[in-house]
């Protein structure tokens, strides 16, 4: 798995696919959490700037996916 993404569309696509796989029941929450934490750590400000997800990224992901990612991000703090 690639952890660092320079292009916001590729990053959003990867996060969207991960959360969708979790919603379909093909990925456990623990696996999802571990993978998303690795992506957040590797991409830094591209996922969260000043504690908030950039509007472009959130728009691509949609509210349900953003809620899941925000929940995981809060466990990191």
Of 3, 5, 7, 19, whose CA–CA distance to 56 is shortest? 7
53 three-state secondary structure: coil
pLDDT in tens, 6-41: 888 999 999 999 999 999 999 999 999 999 999 999
Is the pTM higher than 0.95?
A: no
């Amino acid at each position: 798995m690639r952890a660092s993404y320079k292009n916001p569309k590729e990053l959003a696509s990867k996060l969207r696919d991960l959360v969708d796989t979790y919603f379909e029941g093909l990925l456990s929450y623990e696996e999802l959490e571990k993978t998303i934490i690795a992506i957040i750590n590797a991409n830094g400000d591209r996922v969260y700037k000043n504690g908030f997800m950039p509007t472009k990224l959130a728009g691509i992901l949609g509210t349900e996916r953003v809620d899941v990612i925000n929940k995981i991000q809060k466990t990191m703090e």
